[in-house]
Structure 1
Amino acid sequence: MTPELSYLFGGGVIMFAIIIIQVAYLPLSKGLAWGLSARDEAVEGNVLDGRIARTLNNHIESMVLFATAVLVAHAAGISTEMTVLGAMLYFWARLIYVPIYLLGLPYLRTISFLAGAIGTVLIYLEIAGAISA
């Protein structure tokens, strides 16, 4: 398995962890009865509910772009120092993004988000370079 695929797997593990956090926290914040119900009626959430949901949504969105880059690079046989660096940057940035977002640290959140996005862009640039070559 290439390092890029390993980091993609790690991104999936991060997503799974966020889902577990959300599943574990919802009954605590909205009540066990609501947590075990069909959830047809909306219940007002608190600040952390919103942060968990936004963290998950943001991670899903970033994973779509990252997974596309990693899988296209893998299918094309592209694995360079730059793609490995990009994948590593994405993974570590997303790993620290979760607690930073949940704690509500705005500037660090933006920096970690941008670091992950830059990591993804590095992979896209390597693919684009291979296409134009």
Structure 2
Amino acid sequence: MSSELNILALYGLFTCLILILKMTGAMGQLGMGYLLSSRDEHRTLTGITGRLDRALTNSITAMALFAPAILILALKEGFGGATLTAAQVFVVARVLYVPAYGLGLTGIRTLLWTAGFAATVVLYLMALMAS
């Protein structure tokens, strides 16, 4: 398995970790009874748990964009030094993004989001150029 595919797998596991952290916080805020219910009554997560919830949604969206670029490159056998660097930039930016979001570091969070998104766009461009 290529390094880029390993990065995709690691990012998937990281997203699972965010989900676990969010659910742990949600249990404390909402209680297990509510989490096991049909949740017809909407309750809002607050504080760091609310920010983790939003970071999780953002991370899933980022994966939905990142994964196809990596898989297209894999199918085209288009991996190389530049694709590895772009994938590494993506994963580092995304891993740092979550605590920045959780801690409310808005300027840094936006910079990290932009770096991860730009790396994804670069991967798509490289996928289009791969033979």
One-letter amino acid of the counterpart of residue 120, structure 1: T
The DSSP-based 3-state class of the residue aligned with 1:40 is: coil
| Consecutive unaligned residues in structure 1, runs of 5 or more | none
1:75 equivalenced with 2:84 (yes/no): no
Report the identity percentage. Answer: 34
One-letter amino acid of the counterpart of residue 84, structure 2: V
Residue by residue over 1:24-48, the C-alpha shift from the partner in whole angstroms, topping out at 9 and shown as x without a partner, is 1111012233233332212243233
Structure 2 match to 1:119:
119
Distance in 2 of aligned mates of 1:43 and 1:128: 44
Q: RMSD across aligned C-alpha pairs, in angstroms?
A: 1.4
| Consecutive unaligned residues in structure 2, runs of 5 or more | none
1:22 equivalenced with 2:22 (yes/no): yes
How many residues are treated as equivalent by the alignment? 131
Residues 18, 52 of structure 1: 8 Å contact kept: yes
List structure 1 segments (4+ residues) > 3 angstroms apart after TM superposition.
none
Residues 44, 50 of structure 2: 8 Å contact kept: no
Residues 15, 59 of structure 2: 8 Å contact kept: yes
TM-score (norm 1): 0.91
Structure 1 match to 2:102:
102
